[in-house]
């Protein structure tokens, strides 16, 4: 599961989404109760994922888990560097998964909001790791509304071209 969160690509959007880069560990722990419900409630016999291993990929890079660059943004008089390294983090998680799991029969890849985009693109690499597994992918809440201006002038800010899966030519 790829954690969701806002994306940012310029000084305006990165200043608005700034809280995803500074979330305190205690805030994360305080919300942990949410991760004992729904698909996380392994004691619930009606949960179709009860007994499954759950790998959670956190998010703090402002690039929907796609980036591989660092960018300096000007916030008023302050310059801040945002480490758009979501692809690198996701690939580290994928490497960890490859080292710790062998031959799963089923794999379910999901994410919400920014994690929805990651679920779609990173599921390609996971399928390559486990070619014999049944795969299901659900990108929940990725709104899909992308302007031409964003595609032409801002998407490259994240450095995504290094890691887009070639197996999905539509991403080009």
In angstroms, the first-to-last Cα distance of the chain is: 24
* Mode of pairing for the β-strands spanning 134-140 and 106-112: parallel
pLDDT at 22: 54
pTM of the model: 0.85
Strands (E) in the chain, as ranges, are 69-75, 78-84, 106-112, 134-140
Which positions ≥6 away from 19 have C-beta within 8 Å?
none
pLDDT score recorded for residue 136: 96
Q: Identify the pLDDT of residue 18.
A: 54
* Residues of the chain under the 50 pLDDT cut: none
For 33-58, how does the pLDDT look when each residue is reduced to its tens digit (9 = 90+)? Answer: 566 788 888 889 999 999 899 899 98
Q: 86: closest CA among 54, 126, 115, 123?
A: 115
């Amino acid at each position: 599961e790829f954690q969701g969160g806002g994306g940012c690509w310029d000084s305006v959007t990165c200043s608005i989404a700034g809280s995803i880069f500074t979330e305190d560990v205690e805030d994360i722990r305080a919300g942990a109760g949410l991760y004992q419900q729904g698909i996380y409630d392994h004691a619930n016999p009606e949960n179709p994922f009860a007994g499954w291993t759950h790998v959670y990929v956190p998010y703090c890079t402002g690039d929907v888990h796609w980036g591989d660059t660092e960018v300096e943004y000007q916030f008023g008089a302050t310059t801040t560097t945002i480490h758009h390294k979501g692809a690198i983090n996701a690939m580290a998680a994928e490497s960890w998964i490859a080292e710790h799991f062998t031959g799963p029969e089923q794999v379910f890849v999901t994410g919400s909001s920014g994690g929805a985009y990651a679920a779609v693109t990173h599921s390609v690499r996971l399928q390559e790791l486990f070619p014999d597994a049944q795969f299901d992918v659900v990108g929940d809440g990725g709104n899909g509304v992308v302007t031409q201006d964003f595609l032409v002038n801002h998407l490259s800010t994240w450095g995504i071209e290094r890691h887009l899966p070639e197996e999905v030519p539509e991403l080009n």
